[in-house]
Structure 1
Amino acid sequence: MKTLLYMGITINGYIAKADGDSQFTSEEDLKSFFDHSKNAGNIIMGKNTFIEASKQGYFPFPEALNVVLTHEKLDNKWGRNVLFTDKSPKDVLAFLKEKGFDTAFIAGGGKVNSSFIKEKLIDEIYIDVEPVVFGRGIPIFAESDFEFELKLLETKKLNENTIQLHYQVIK
């Protein structure tokens, strides 16, 4: 199974403001994000990312299985395409593979990103760099002990000010 991480970030590496607001990305970033998630058929994210994006009207994404990682018991008022789970990253990938998915699509936040990369479970990373700077915010990876090298596969200009970087994780 191929595992993709996809993030829109500020030029200083934040995926959201300190309060969780991530409404700084461009229309082109959102289109590319949803195209990739639709192709994968699933989106893996943490509870905070899911709740914040739900408030903004982005999730649950109707054309994908929304897998929300959380240790809290939450009422599922969103329907059958939303799954709340406390499974480990490895177990989530095994579940998706068992369901017939060949690509897993990770959409944050920083803690979820770190939990997958720390276990060497991410194959490729898409980073859409937006022309924005936050003094404080949520970083793309939560602080943890890991280090990886990346191989640049492609750069793409999404619009006049937004660049997409596509990397392979060297394992």
Structure 2
Amino acid sequence: MTRKVIFYGAISLDGFLAREDQQLDWLFETPGGEETAYDEFIQQIDTTIMGRTTYEDVLSKYSGPEFMYRDKRNYVFSHSLLGQTPAEPSVTYVAGDIVPFIKELKQEEGSGIWLVGGGALIRPLIEENLIDEWYIQIAPVILGKGVPLFFASQADLRLELVAVNRYQQFVEMHYRKRST
């Protein structure tokens, strides 16, 4: 059995992960974020995948003993960081094509693989239909511009709705890849 690749994250109503300057104030100011099923979700995964910008944002808030994913295997895709020693011992820097990397990772022993972000990292995985589940929390905020979750793509995927949950002002949609 192969491991699942899962996207779990929040977006604005118009589909942005963050403001253009990477700020998430709109997210943290929306009531209900602390009530999501994050604690349950994080127990299902043992690996995180993120881009350099997301990693640097996480490090700026939670470095050292507070590093959020210390008990996980963490892979950061970045050409500019390759060759450097990660600030966190549980982090490995990776460069190159994410698609074969994910295909190989799915075949290894372990539990879920969390795509922490961002949209540019996720696009090739969408195009190859490698994301098994989606947990998308939507905040009732329209940003107008920012960092999109979905970039233009050649993909035409159909998903199956698993559940919809409400956490105060957030709605969470859980989708999974359709069986073919």
TM-score normalised to structure 2 length: 0.81
- Which residue of 43, 47, 60 maps to 1:42? 47
Is the 1:37–1:64 Cα contact (8 Å) retained in structure 2? no
Alignment-derived partner of residue 34 in structure 2: 27
Alpha carbons 1:60, 1:78 under 8 Å: kept:
no
Q: Which residue of 2 aligns with 1:4?
A: 6
Distance 1:145 1:94 in 2: 20
Residue aligning to 1:117: 126
Give the structure 1 partner of residue 58 of structure 2: 53
Q: Distance in 1 between matches of 2:104 and 2:134?
A: 21
What corresponds to 1:143 in structure 2?
152
Cα 1:76–1:28, aligned 2, differ >3 Å: closer, same or farther? farther
Structure-1-length-normalised TM-score: 0.85
How far 1:129 sits from its partner (Å)?
0.9
Secondary structure (helix, strand or coil) at the match of 2:109 reads coil
Structure 2 SS opposite 1:92 = helix
Is the CA contact (8 Å cut-off) linking 2:45 and 2:112 kept in structure 1? yes
Instruction: Please report how far the alpha carbon of residue 126 of structure 1 lies from its aligned counterpart in structure 2 after TM superposition.
Output: 0.5
Supply the distance in 2 between the matched residues of 1:76 and 1:164 (Cα, whole angstroms): 36
Quote the offset at 1:35 in angstroms: 4.1
Tell me the equivalent position of 1:15.
Answer: 17
Structure with max Cα Rg: 2
Q: How many correspondences in the alignment?
A: 168
Q: Post-superposition shift, 1:49? A: 1.1
Q: 1:60 to 1:78 in 2, by over 3 A?
A: farther
Q: Note if 1:86 corresponds to 2:91.
A: no
Residues 108 and 34 of structure 1: CA distance in aligned 2, closer, same or farther (over 3 Å) = farther
AA paired with 1:150? L
Structure 1 residues 27 and 114 mapped into 2: Cα distance closer, same or farther (>3 Å)? same
Q: Percent identity?
A: 25
Q: Pick which of 92-101 and 143-152 moved more.
A: 92-101
**Could you say what secondary structure the match of 2:101 adopts?**
helix
Task: Note the aligned Cα RMSD (angstroms).
Answer: 2.2
Partner AA of 2:16 in structure 1: Y
- SS state of the match for residue 154, structure 2? coil
- Structure 2 unaligned spans of 5+: none
Cα distance in 2, alignment partners of residues 88 and 102 from structure 1: 22
